[in-house]
Structure 1
Amino acid sequence: MRTFGVEEELLIVDPETGMLLALADAMLPRLVPPIPDAQGAPVDPAQPPAHEDPDFSYELKLEQIETQTRPCLEYPELLRQLRQGRARADQAAREHGGRVAALATSPHGSATHLTPKQRYMAMQQRFGLTVRNQLTCGLHVHTLVESPEEGVAVMDRIRDKLAVLIALSANSPYWNGAETGFESYRTQAWNRWPGSGPTMIFGSLPVYRRVVTRLVETGVLMDEGMVYFDSRLCRHHPTVEVRVADVCLRAEDAALIAVLVRALVESASREWNDGVDPAPVPTLLLRMAAWQASNCGLRGQLLDFGTFTPAPAADVVQALVDFVAPVLEEQGELGLVRQGIGRILAEGTGSLLQREPFHAGGLTAVVERAVDVTMQGADDGEPADEGSTLGRVRRG
């Protein structure tokens, strides 16, 4: 089994009003205290810490914080780390009067504060309103690949199926105080970045590298870090990073989507090894599928990833599970996935869970409910004692 891990971005909110709070600077020192070595000297921050706890880092805005799991082999361990990360971030937020909520966009509209890093300030100057308006929280799944060549082959063969993950994770029906008419409005907001969205079929690692280099050479993107493809090769780890999903309100949904992504990666790798060519789907059709998933989620129709014609969302989701079923069965995860997918189809995604309290109590009730659901099962994450080391900042 391939190792996999998750990054998820969380909003920091006022538990009474539901408004955003710019607390990341105050929270991170609590989450990542300096760790002296045996001689009392500071530990080199470039060295990984000797623990298996989630990490934490800044994001673009001070109203959000990112948690990062360690590489895992199994769903239960990944879920434990996700819950642990949420519990520890929430504990740090509470110390300053806030809470964390796994919301992909903020229901309330309010001014946001740029994280004071040189790169982010340069992005603000370069991209203007796109940066000022940008406050989105995603779920990024990293899956181990044996080589960059395998990674590109995988990306070529999963590109036509990623829109289904948008629908399964949809968790952003509100934006700046307004009902958007979308299940995943984060997808719409995120795709304002020039380097975002689905990609062509690369065919080989040299072509992928050449495309990335050419994009940076245009001067539109500041650096390779702004290559925000729906899936990309991670620059710092031997993984394929799938970036299309909203952060999930329920931690178990996030872990389930990660299991699906790993199964997709393994299935694609086997196709590559068997000489199966990628499906020659035009990139414009992939954009249509992503837009449809963003708009309708699981409440209507999706574009079938075989024909790219409309089909009931539940049927398209089940088709994705059937596609990766051989891998899931080998790994002992098929029953887990079928049960989890059945639960999401029956109970709805985070978008539906947000809409339920809105009709009774408005946007403030939406955020209050989101905080509660975000923390469900957090006791299983075994939050650390008050004096424990909680992680380390990744400031790059």
Structure 2
Amino acid sequence: MRTFGVEEELLIVDPESGEPLALADALLSGRRLAADDSPEDPHTLETQDKSAFDDEMGLSAELKLEQIETQTRPCLDYGELLRQIRAGRLLADQAARRNGARVAALATSPLASTTHTTPDPRYARMLERFGLTAQEQLTCGFHVHTNVESADEGVAVLDRIRDKLAVLTALSANSPFWNGMETGFESYRTQAWNRWPTSGPSGVFGTYSAYRRVVTRLLDSGVMLDEGMIYFDARLSRNHPTVEVRVADVCLRAEDAALIAVLVRAMVESASREWHDGVEPAPVPTVLLRMAAWQASSSGMGGELLDFGTFRPAPAADVVRSLVDYLEPVLEEQGELGLARDGVEEIIARGTGSAEQRRVRETVAEKTAPDDAGLGSVVGHAIEATMRGASGLPKVDAVPELLRVRQS
């Protein structure tokens, strides 16, 4: 069974006002390690020591001082991963509490704020090069790493999962507000993130050498600072033997995050089997995938998505159920079919994180007319939802040991 792990980006917030706080440096201490989005030259999937991935867990810095990232170790099943996600949230929250703050699993800040870039020469160059895109980029994503045996297998997987990734954006949607405004989107993080030049869906590569040629041409263009800024929706990890899927919002609830990771792992395994069986990737034009991603960002689970088989509109619930049906052989073999179906049905019934945020705001707005239009209460609710299920975990007294500077 393939191992998998996740990275969660969390907002650091004032527990009273809900406003983002620029405290990442205060929350973190220790040494800096190479990361997928750092400029250091990595080992390739063919040569790196896979054991290095097995020992990694901790907290790290991001582009903005108002956010912090947690990382799990590689896991074998849903239960183990869920425990580690909750432990990571607890670790981050305890570090925040020591500095008078809390963390919240929100993909964008509901409240308006002035962002502060993490002090780092690379981030300073990004700010100079990309202007407002970098200045406003206070977004929190959820990245799933799934083990692959080789770079060739990894590229084969990328080619065969690209048509299904928008479904994960819809399931994870958790960013309806942006700088104090209702956006009209379910995942506005996706809209903000896709302003980067290399973000979004990629084409079919065919081989690892072709993948490297595309990356090299992007770097030779001079637009990007370094390879860490190759922001495909799914890519080969630069420092781990994994495929990294990057389309999801950070999820309000830890159990939703673990569910999405389970679906990603099943997608990777299914794609690998198709590759070994000689099944060609679906020849879906990249522009159509961009439209599917936009629609998922706009409607989430509350409207229609583009069906990944026909790319015609269909009810979001039906499209998500179709994805689980497609993954059924692998999910059943891994003992995760029941939890996948139950988890999907629960999200369909109660709504995504975006729906939950809007319900909180509407409830508050019916009772009062606060200056923040109920958005402070949204953040307060998010703090509680973020930490749900983590209260019974052992207290983490040590200051976080890992500090890795990266741009998500």
How high is the TM-score relative to the length of structure 2? 0.90
CA distance in 1, matches of 2:52, 2:273: 34
What is the CA deviation profile of residues 6-55 of structure 1, one whole-angstrom value per residue up to 9, with x for unaligned ones? 001000000110111001010112xx599xxxxxxxxxxxx999996831
Matched residue SS, 2:321: helix
Aligned to 1:77: 80
Match of 2:37 in 1: none
In structure 2, the residue matched to 1:395 is 405
Q: Which deviations, in whole Å up to 9, do the C-alpha atoms of 1:52-92 show, x marking residues without a partner? A: 68311000000000000011111111111110111111111
> Which one is further off, 358-367 or 188-197?
358-367
Instruction: Measure the CA separation in 1 of the matches of 2:4 and 2:203.
Output: 25
1:122 alignment counterpart: 125
Fraction of identical pairs, as percent: 69
Alignment of 1:1-396 (within 5 A): 1-29=1-29, 32=30, 54-361=57-364, 362-384=374-396, 386=397, 388=398, 390-395=400-405
CA positional deviation for 1:360: 3.0
Q: After TM superposition, what 4+ stretches of structure 1 lie above 4 angstroms from structure 2? A: 47-53
Structure 1 residues 51 and 261: alpha-carbon distance in aligned structure 2, compared to 1, 3 A threshold: closer
SS at match of 2:391: helix
Contact kept, 8 Å, 1:146 with 1:238, in 2: the verdict is yes
1:359 Cα offset (Å): 1.5
Task: Give the whole-Å Cα distance in 1 for the aligned partners of 2:217 and 2:392.
Answer: 46
Please tell me whether the aligned partners of residues 54 and 391 of structure 1 are also in contact (alpha carbons under 8 angstroms).
no
**Conservation of the 8 A alpha-carbon contact between 2:57 and 2:73:** yes
Aligned mates of 2:110, 2:131 — CA distance in 1: 22
Q: How many angstroms apart in 2 are the aligned matches of 1:279 and 1:331?
A: 25
Is the contact made by 2:56 and 2:71 (CA closer than 8 Å) also made in structure 1? Answer: no
SS at match of 1:128: helix
Partners in 2 of 1:338 and 1:147 — Cα distance? Answer: 30
The aligned amino acid for 1:395 is V
Separation in structure 1 between the aligned mates of residue 111 and residue 402 of structure 2, nearest angstrom: 30
Amino acid at match of 2:17: T
Structure 1: gaps spanning 5 or more residues: 35-46
Shift of 1:382: 2.7
Distance verdict in 2 for CA 1:106–1:50, change over 3 Å: closer
Aligned partners of 2:299, 2:125: CA distance in 1, in Å? Answer: 35
- 8 Å CA contact 2:54–2:74 kept in 1: the answer is no
CA distance in 1, matches of 2:174, 2:288: 23
What SS is found at the alignment partner of 1:378? coil
Distance change in 2, residues 1:326/1:51 (3 Å): closer
Partners of 1:16 and 1:160 in 2: CA distance: 42
1:39 match = none
